[in-house]
Amino acid sequence: MNGQRIGYIRVSTLVQNDERQLEGIECDRTFIDHASGKDTRRPELESLLTFVRAGDTVTVHSMDRLARDLDELRHLVQDLTSRDITVEFVKEHLTFTGNDSPMARLMLSVMGAFSEFERELLKERQREGIALAKVRGVYRGRKRSLTPDSAQDIIRRIENGEAKSRLAKEYGISRETLYQYVKAANSTQSKFSPVVKLTGM
């Protein structure tokens, strides 16, 4: 009797497309974690490890989606294959069954090391990019937390006398972030009309 194909997807943030990782691959069930590579808490992976049974195939887009580092990768693959569960990595075109040759085990270590190395290079490039942007004075930091409509609604409510601290709590942003929107609104008003200071607390 054939087992099920179980998909595992990990995306770093909620804004990433979680469907593209296994696009075109039909899975009986898919587990999706929204967590960064350094995050040790991945509840959906834990659920998958409990759910899979002998004869199943666990399909993952790439090695770095399954594990945070080489040691964890080897541990997870060995744990699954020892339970007669096949592990399939789409990007690397590698499949592990537990009856793998020494060459296949070597490939697991080599490809896993490459994935870990690529991830570290990406992080280093990001750090260097941020440092250079700060030197040039163009680093913007994190994106703003409000949509344009929400920002306009907050400004309107401040103009009507509502307390900034209560609005910040309602919209789930810090008061510092709210003050940035107020500052931007005052700056815009000063360009096109007499300044109306939004000072309600």
Tens digits of residue pLDDT in 41-50 = 889 999 999 9
Specify whether 145 is catalytic: no
Please identify which residue in the block is written with the tokens 């541990």. Answer: 75
Relative to beta strand 94-96, strand 29-34 is unpaired
Q: How many residues can be counted in the chain?
A: 201
Do 42 and 112 share a domain, yes or no?
yes
Q: Which two tokens stand for residue 93?
A: 């075109």
Tens digits of residue pLDDT in 68-90 = 888 888 889 989 999 999 999 99
Q: In 48-123, which ranges are E strands?
A: 57-60, 86-89, 94-96
SS3 6: strand
**pLDDT band (50, 70, 90) for residue 200:** very low
Do 83 and 172 share a domain, yes or no?
no
**Domain contains 20:** yes
Do 97 and 161 share a domain, yes or no?
no
Do 68 and 29 share a domain, yes or no?
yes
Do 87 and 23 share a domain, yes or no?
yes
Do 56 and 112 share a domain, yes or no?
yes
**Domain contains 89:** yes
**Domain contains 128:** no
Domain that residue 159 falls in: 148-192
In the listed set 117, 138, 166, which residue is the last one of a domain according to the structure? 117
Do 25 and 107 share a domain, yes or no?
yes
Tens digits of residue pLDDT in 89-120 = 998 888 998 887 777 777 777 877 766 766 66
**Domain contains 182:** yes
Instruction: List % helix, strand, coil for the chain (3-state, nearest 5).
Output: 50, 10, 40
Are 146 and 181 spatial neighbours (Cβ–Cβ below 8 Å)?
yes
Q: Of all helices (H) and strands (E), which one includes residue 7?
A: strand 5-11
Q: What is the number of domains present in the chain? A: 2
Cα dist from 40 to 23, 34, 69, 82, whole Å: 26, 12, 11, 23
